[in-house]
Amino acid sequence: MKVTVIDYRAGNVTSVERALRRLGTEVSAANRPEEILSATCLILPGVGHCAALMGALDAQEIRNPLLERIADGIPFLGICLGLQALYESSDEAPGFAGLGLFKGRVSKLPQTVKLPHMGWNQLRASRPSALLRNISPEAYFYFAHSYAAPDSGPENTALATHGRDFMAIAEHQNMIGVQFHPEKSGAPGAQFLENFLRRAA
């Protein structure tokens, strides 16, 4: 299966592409509407500011092609901001609309803890999932964010905690979002990507 990684030119997509190639997957980076419309599996890596991501989706006219392909049922994985983009709105970018595929608002983590939530943390599975296959419940994943999605909803597959609980793996039908960076999470991260590819195939 060929994976299309959306490169909206604000973050570093190289590490995502490299992690997928290590698993023997064919990968291409794309930012044109027609490339998105012909994709059979999409990954939206998100690094940076939420407004930059939302703004880029509109400026580069990829919001509608993306929504169209997701509605067609092709496998979609959003990483970090890519997960947050699946929700209706984000307090980080009040003027921008999210993709609105999951209900709720992305909000800042409480300032009772150090922000950004930066480094390695564990997950708490809310239900069994093929995405967690061969991954130890003790495994650590790499996070780097200050805003996070809600802690409940039909998409809840795993939560993590930093100041409050938040969605670490959101999963509903063909739509998957992860708040951590599987491409920077060592062996468990690679296993997660492999599980996603297997589920997508």
Partner 1 sequence: MTLAHRIIPCLDTDGSRVVKGVHFEGLRDAGDPVELAARYNVEGADELVVLDIAASRDNHPTFLETIRRVAQQLSIPLAAGGGIRSLEDARSVIRAGADKITLNTAAVERPELIRELSNEFGAQAVVLAIDARRENSCWKVRVHGGRTATGLDATEWAMRGIASGAGEILLTSIDRDGTQSGFDTALTSTISKCVGVPVIASGGAKIPRHFFEVFTEGAADAALAASIFHDEVQSIRALKSYLRENGVSVRLPC
Q: Which residues are part of the catalytic machinery? A: 80, 181, 183
Is 107 a binding residue for partner 1 by CB under 8 A? The answer is no
Is 63 a binding residue for partner 1 by CB under 8 A? The answer is no
End-to-end CA distance of the chain: 7
CB of 124 to partner 1, least distance (A): 7
For residues 6 to 35, the per-residue mask of contacts with partner 1, x marking binding by CB under 8 A and - elsewhere, is ----xxx-xx--xx----------------
- Helix, strand, coil % in the chain, rounded to nearest 5: 30, 30, 40
What residues contact residue 166 under an 8 Å CB cut-off, 6+ apart?
109, 148, 149, 150, 151, 159, 160, 179
What residues contact residue 52 under an 8 Å CB cut-off, 6+ apart?
8, 10
Is 190 a binding residue for partner 1 by CB under 8 A? The answer is yes
Candidates 32-40, 64-72, 98-106, 181-189: pick the segment binding partner 1 (CB under 8 A): 181-189
Q: Residue 134: left if φ>0, alpha if ψ -120 to 50, beta else—which one?
A: left
Q: Which residues bind partner 1 (CB under 8 A)?
A: 10-12, 14-15, 18-19, 47-49, 52, 111, 114-122, 124, 136, 138-140, 142, 144-146, 160-162, 181, 183-190
